[in-house]
Amino acid sequence: MSISVPTPRTTTAPEPLVPDVIVPLPAADGSRPHLPVLRGPGVYPAQRDTWLLADVLARELLAASPTRRRVLELCAGAGALSLVAAGVPGTDVTAVDVSRRALVSAWANARRLGRRVRLHRGDLTAPVVGKRYDLVVSNPPYVPAADASLPTRGAMRAFDGGPDGRTVIDRVIDSAPRVLAPGGCLLLVHSAINGVGTTLEKLAAHGLDADVAARCEHPFGPVFTARAAWLEQRGLIEPGQRTEELVVVRARRPLVAAARGSVEDTTDLVRVSGPVPAVQER
């Protein structure tokens, strides 16, 4: 196990954690229990894209064999999706984010809810090179931004995805197949504005069988709304368009790769035996 999350600084007064709520699949009795997720200032709030992806994630995990539930979350933020995954019996959950604040929030949430999540700070799959996962889940930054260079700090690091919003999406597509076990599945959420066809084509080019697992139309949040005129000028949205479709893409790595012996999963699993350390809408 490696944990590269620093202890929160104590030289200044602690900033308050803000509660968000994530509502995963209905329970057996039909109720939809809320999962409160706290986050520090500047950490992405669990919201519509998180919720849509959480439902698909929970369904995939419940349908999976209990022996194939190794989960990696890329771009974990406060850890909402990892916490949902860690609530499914038999899961082994690892979460990666580049932001210290996000990881401190994820650590606090995992500890508070008593869910085991292994945390790494770093760039996408860099901290887990050589490992294999049955399920990789990601809600990356995908809002198109005028600046081609991505922010290296601050709240907008969770939102800005380069000129067409695809910079981090494409890097997830390029890196996730390397850590997917044969038969494993990538679940990726983004806006239809980013181009669903492009995502499906790029995943197919990596040898994955990709389809759309869920989609849902929503009014723009504040970040898309603030950029609407610019998005119109760029032709990324229709004139007057103020809604976007959120799309969850599912991409499975064929089992046949294992049969050919090209990649086999020999990752040793290490269970974390205790709690691990450590805006706005789009």
Ligand X SMILES: C[S@@+](CC[C@H](N)C(=O)[O-])C[C@H]1O[C@@H](n2cnc3c(N)ncnc32)[C@H](O)[C@@H]1O
Closer by beta carbon to ligand X, 59 or else 257:
59
Strand partners, 95: 73, 119
> Residue 200 and residue 210: Cα distance in Å, rounded?
6
In the complex, minimum distance from the CB of residue 174 to ligand X, in angstroms, rounded to a whole number = 12
Query: Angle, to 10 degrees, between the axis of helix 167-175 and the axis of helix 196-205?
Result: 30
> Residue 253 and residue 204: Cα distance in Å, rounded?
10
* 278 binds ligand X, rule: CB under 6 A: no
Site of tokens 């849902």? 216
* 139 binds ligand X, rule: CB under 6 A: yes
* 87 binds ligand X, rule: CB under 6 A: no
Find the helix or strand (DSSP H, E) in which 245 lies: strand 243-252
221-260 mask for ligand X (x: CB under 6 A)? ----------------------------------------
> Residue 121 and residue 161: Cα distance in Å, rounded?
19
Residue from 5, 61, 76, 145 binding ligand X (CB under 6 A): 76
Closer by beta carbon to ligand X, 45 or else 195:
45
Residue from 69, 115, 120, 157 binding ligand X (CB under 6 A): 157
* 77 binds ligand X, rule: CB under 6 A: yes
* Span interacting with ligand X, options 86-94, 137-145, 198-206, 245-253, rule CB under 6 A: 137-145
* 99 binds ligand X, rule: CB under 6 A: yes
126: which residues sit within 8 A by CB, 6+ positions away? Answer: none
* 187 binds ligand X, rule: CB under 6 A: no
* 144 binds ligand X, rule: CB under 6 A: no
> Residue 228 and residue 29: Cα distance in Å, rounded?
42
Contact between 43 and 157 under an 8 Å Cβ cutoff? The reply is no
State the amino acid at position 134 in one-letter form: D
Q: Which residue, judged by CB position, is nearest to ligand X in the bound state? A: 77
Contacts with ligand X by CB under 6 A lie at 44, 46, 50, 75-77, 80-81, 96-99, 102, 123-124, 139-141, 157-158, 168
